[in-house]
Structure 1
């Protein structure tokens, strides 16, 4: 009963908010707009004007209306449309031909002339004439047929002036010029200005605190962007001291360090260092540096180094050099070269081997192409849009003879052969209503060679791939997995979520070689203002792990930004 009263009261409150009601109808063709409520009388009048304007745009130029007030708060309107006028002929007049090449000719419908004029003005605004005007001239009427001539006034040619950056930011004007494509001396373009707003809103380095403005001076237009730098830099780490079981009396340093510095000098210059050591034998190191728009060219250059020491099995190093090019505001093309070197650390176990083991020393030189397509509405916590990242590479892999292996293991082995590699990631965000969203991510990859080794394979599992398993739990020659999350937002960047991950992996060194891991769980992402705390509980099942809560995993961490 209380619930019924609550909803009835809510309905009465909603009705009480509308203090003016309006209903309209037309004669021929007969149309009816049912009673509609408005908070104020001017809002109702504005709605009525929009209805009449829409009929006039259809060609009913001589329409008139009769109004009947029903009480002080209600109005009933009868619209008499009269004759519908059509175009018999209309001349382009002095409108520049280059402005109309991609515009459909004016049809006999009256509204088509208005649409045509809007297209011309849009073309003019994007070609350096933001003050252009167009109107109908020499209008003549014969019955219900009209004829006219377009008259165009371009106004002065306006050129872009230098960009001005305001607000609490270290971003340099030259960097904004590069990412927006706005060049001093080029013709003004309204489309270019609108695209610049979108590009700046997606930047991971800063946010726009005010809408972009344009200061028009003598034949110059200076765009002004007001920005505030984001807290993007990261310093996070855990250091542990454990007794070294291999060297009694000494300590073993374990832990994790994440250092990420972005937009140094306001130029889009990035540096990142990631180190992790979880036990005495396994550790990894990643170093990355990027310089944007090198020597004021459209190219970005990045250099990376990765080291992985897998217990006492092998040591792998990767050195990469990337060149990136901004094709459009959404599309980014990369050309890269990488050198991967891997060496076996302990060879005693292979003293009696008669064929090439699953690990071996090799050198692989790669040359590849990458393409990214970004349509997300935010660089960190998007709610709408999609993202595509892809890479394809090939190169020659050369197996190096290890003196710790018996010589006969290399007999009949092609020591030099082509190796291929590819990866693709597709991410999609849905936002159904305030407080409820969904995230999907699909990822796939392959690596192919006639002498594929265990230390060649992809490493998967953990927080950033298939949750519910340890980090780098899986080895895979080819793989595909899907991440799904339902998110319940309770803040701008804070949400509760439930997830499910599904994968299929191929590992040629395990039997059976096909694994289909599945995991599910729940967690929380909490924005604390100075950082992000994430806690995820998951449990997974695979060929190597049963579905038992004793095998569940907790992924958590706090990412501090400054």
Structure 2
């Protein structure tokens, strides 16, 4: 063992010696000041004069930022181990006078731009570039896309500089007309609201740059070519080239089974109907029915109507009905008013009503279930910068909400309690290699809690979240886990063979407050697996093979779960 350790240490030392021996020493000497600077560079990379010239320029940049504006390299020579350069550092320049002419100062004040005082300060070109970019960006978004900032009346002394900052606004530009070219079927006013454009408003470069990103996020639109802007004397015309894209989907599977409890033949399966832009206003209506068996049925109806009456407001609504055989039934209607922002986000005001009812069969069930109702109010926020709707390759989607209200126990005279619910969901896509190899990171968290200062309260089984399966943690049966709070982190590595189609590896790791036997236990489940996405002209096929560890289940092939989904577009 001692001999092995010595050999291992010797190898490390030899590698370090080889790395040091193969490195190049860079020495820069400034003849006017006598100062020298020494650096270590990787070997073999700087054996070409073009690379060395570029490297020497990069080493001069910190000097420029410290006011040595005339610093330069006059000559250099090199071999395999050494680079020696000679130059002049020059004087360190300061601003003797830096002022703004009166007309420019008026416009800076009008646009809320503050110019810092620079007298007797060291000249930093990077700082001036940042100031110029800030000014031009502000004016580009305020109707002056051709605005320029320049230094005038520049006077250079021995180590001092005087200059006047001038603003050239050029012409004020207003938005004239949005022209839509192509066969797209969409309400014109809806597109104007989606892009936050109004005829006669001031031109904004930031809005124009976001146009194609916003259009790519719409599942019912296909971009023929990038947006173009035509500038006239005082107006700008915007041209969007769009085709209609089929985005509505349908998937379904139905069957019959014999219920062993009552001996009756019952229906099971699932249906999913998504209607997108059916009324040419960018709306989405989703109908989902799921009956996995064992007397469980789930009905979800969701709608999203953005930019109502061509305004920056919208309405979202949903209705959920969940029936657990003859034990209990839960209904949950929600409605939200959304307010869109220009940065692809929206704020929401939420109204959420929940009611669950059960029929007691024995005393044991009374400790697990209860008749409750709750009316919650809250706020939410959504942000979407994804570059696609079905299978994006870059960007971020973020959703959060916080609702609170009163929860009532309907079958008794017990005191009411305060109910609070919070949700945070985020999904990001990072391209690792072009659009072929993509990393997806997902965070999904929900929490539900009650509080009563007078008596101890609890949540019942028919009030819990139901998790497990495709949408939460893979490797477990769909919605078989009851939880009051959970947080799941997922990572996926996608290999895209063609546009949208390909394989992916995934890992789901979660913290779950599990509801078991009328009490909560903490669990840390893990799901691992592989999946397939296949996009065809007729629809999307998704298949995943997952292994789960937790909740009494081991990471073994006999407990593997296969999750799949098929949807057709029309």
Change (3 A) 1:138 1:483: closer
Q: Please state how far the C-alpha of 1:302 moved relative to its aligned partner.
A: 1.9
8 Å CA contact retained: 1:400, 1:415: no
2:440 is paired with a residue whose SS is strand
Which residue of structure 1 lines up, in the alignment, with residue 562 of structure 2?
554
Change (3 A) 1:82 1:341: closer
Q: 2:543 aligns with which of 514, 521, 535?
A: 535
Q: What is the rounded CA distance, in whole Å, between the counterparts of 1:125 and 1:237 in structure 2? A: 51
8 Å CA contact retained: 1:335, 1:370: yes
Single out whichever of 550-559 and 454-463 deviates more from structure 2. 550-559
Which residue of structure 1 lines up, in the alignment, with residue 305 of structure 2?
291
Single out whichever of 205-214 and 28-37 deviates more from structure 2. 28-37
8 Å CA contact retained: 1:164, 1:173: no
Q: What is the rounded CA distance, in whole Å, between the counterparts of 2:297 and 2:388 in structure 1? A: 33
Single out whichever of 434-443 and 106-115 deviates more from structure 2. 106-115
1:7-28 CA-partner distances (Å, limit 9, x unpaired) = xxxxxxxxxxxxxxxxxx9987
Which residue of structure 1 lines up, in the alignment, with residue 405 of structure 2?
395
Q: Please state how far the C-alpha of 1:362 moved relative to its aligned partner.
A: 2.6
Which residue of structure 2 lines up, in the alignment, with residue 17 of structure 1?
none
Q: State the TM-score, normalized to the length of structure 2.
A: 0.77
Change (3 A) 1:513 1:544: farther
Q: What is the rounded CA distance, in whole Å, between the counterparts of 1:205 and 1:272 in structure 2? A: 15
Q: State the TM-score, normalized to the length of structure 1.
A: 0.78
Q: What is the rounded CA distance, in whole Å, between the counterparts of 1:315 and 1:523 in structure 2? A: 35
8 Å CA contact retained: 2:483, 2:512: yes
Q: Please state how far the C-alpha of 1:444 moved relative to its aligned partner.
A: 2.2
Change (3 A) 1:558 1:140: same
8 Å CA contact retained: 2:509, 2:524: yes
8 Å CA contact retained: 1:478, 1:506: yes
Q: What is the rounded CA distance, in whole Å, between the counterparts of 1:102 and 1:446 in structure 2? A: 45
Over the residues paired in the alignment, what is the CA RMSD in angstroms? 4.0
Structure 2, gaps ≥5 residues long: 1-27, 40-44, 77-84, 451-456
Change (3 A) 1:414 1:171: same
Q: What is the rounded CA distance, in whole Å, between the counterparts of 1:63 and 1:541 in structure 2? A: 64
Q: What is the rounded CA distance, in whole Å, between the counterparts of 1:324 and 1:240 in structure 2? A: 39
Single out whichever of 470-479 and 28-37 deviates more from structure 2. 28-37
Q: Please state how far the C-alpha of 1:151 moved relative to its aligned partner.
A: 4.1
Q: Please state how far the C-alpha of 1:59 moved relative to its aligned partner.
A: 7.7
Q: What is the rounded CA distance, in whole Å, between the counterparts of 1:464 and 1:447 in structure 2? A: 19
Which residue of structure 2 lines up, in the alignment, with residue 461 of structure 1?
468
1:484-524 CA-partner distances (Å, limit 9, x unpaired) = 32333333323322222222323444277314253433223
1:83-130 CA-partner distances (Å, limit 9, x unpaired) = 887653233123123257244455553736565444433333222122
Q: How many residues align?
A: 512
Q: Where does 1:212-251 land on structure 2 (aligned, <5 Å)? A: 212-242=227-257
Q: What is the rounded CA distance, in whole Å, between the counterparts of 2:130 and 2:260 in structure 1? A: 80
Which residue of structure 2 lines up, in the alignment, with residue 490 of structure 1?
497
Q: What is the rounded CA distance, in whole Å, between the counterparts of 2:286 and 2:365 in structure 1? A: 41
Which residue of structure 2 lines up, in the alignment, with residue 101 of structure 1?
113
Which residue of structure 2 lines up, in the alignment, with residue 73 of structure 1?
none
Q: What is the rounded CA distance, in whole Å, between the counterparts of 2:133 and 2:557 in structure 1? A: 64
Which residue of structure 1 lines up, in the alignment, with residue 18 of structure 2?
none
Single out whichever of 258-267 and 269-278 deviates more from structure 2. 258-267
Q: What is the rounded CA distance, in whole Å, between the counterparts of 2:244 and 2:524 in structure 1? A: 41
Q: Please state how far the C-alpha of 1:309 moved relative to its aligned partner.
A: 1.0
Which residue of structure 1 lines up, in the alignment, with residue 269 of structure 2?
255
